[in-house]
Structure formats: C-alpha cells, structure tokens
Amino acid sequence: MVERNFQHAALPALCEDIRRARLALRSARSARIPVPAREAQQALADAIGAYIEALTERGFPVPYSLRDEMRIYRVLDPVNSRSGQRRQGPPSQPRPSRSW
C-alpha cells in the first residue's frame, strides 16, 4: 500500500485507498490463505481508519456504515484480541437491566 501523509491527503484519494484495500481483501480471501487475508484485512482497517481520521479532522460526520465496519475489523484483529487491548474512546454505556 502507498504510504500517505493522511493529514493532507484528499478525501477522494483516501476513498480510493479503501476501494483498493477492499479488492485486495476480496482477492486474498478467495485464495484461502489466512496470512495474506489477515494482512489485507489490516490494510483495509488502516485505510478506513485514515479516512475516518481525515473526516473527523475536517469536521465532517463519519458514516455509520464506515464506523461499524471499522469496529468489526478492530474486533477481528487477532493482535488486539490476544493482547486484550480495547479501542480508545468513551466507555460504552451499561446495558439496562431487565426487570421481568
């Protein structure tokens, strides 16, 4: 993947990075070889993260679909899953208790 200075990258270029990363992941998954698929998944997560960061820096809202997709890739990341790391951000809201 091409290294970019994401602070100054144009949003269309970042969208193109996401498109390429999705194609690479689809290709890696169809090859049924786990290591390249994990690397392609990480590249896609990085591309989505860069786009989300660029949107946030510019004051634009983050589409729910991208936010949710990023959350999925964070959960599926084997490195973060094994180390028990959690994403930075506000704590999740506790679930309301059910009184039946």
Question: Does 58 map to a domain?
Answer: yes
* Residue span of the structural domain in which 51 resides: 11-81
One pLDDT digit (tens) per residue for the chain, 100 residues: 445 555 567 999 999 999 999 999 998 888 877 778 888 889 999 999 999 999 999 999 999 999 999 888 888 776 655 444 444 444 444 555 555 5
Q: 21-37 as b/e, with b when 16 or more CB fall inside 10 Å?
A: bbebbeebeeeeeeeeb
* pLDDT for residue 88: 46
Q: Which two tokens stand for residue 46?
A: 């990085």
Question: Does 92 map to a domain?
Answer: no
* pLDDT for residue 89: 44
φ, ψ of residue 13 to 5 degrees: the values are -65, -40
Count of structural domains, the chain: 1
* pLDDT for residue 96: 55
Question: Does 94 map to a domain?
Answer: no
Question: Does 93 map to a domain?
Answer: no
* pLDDT for residue 34: 76
Question: Does 87 map to a domain?
Answer: no
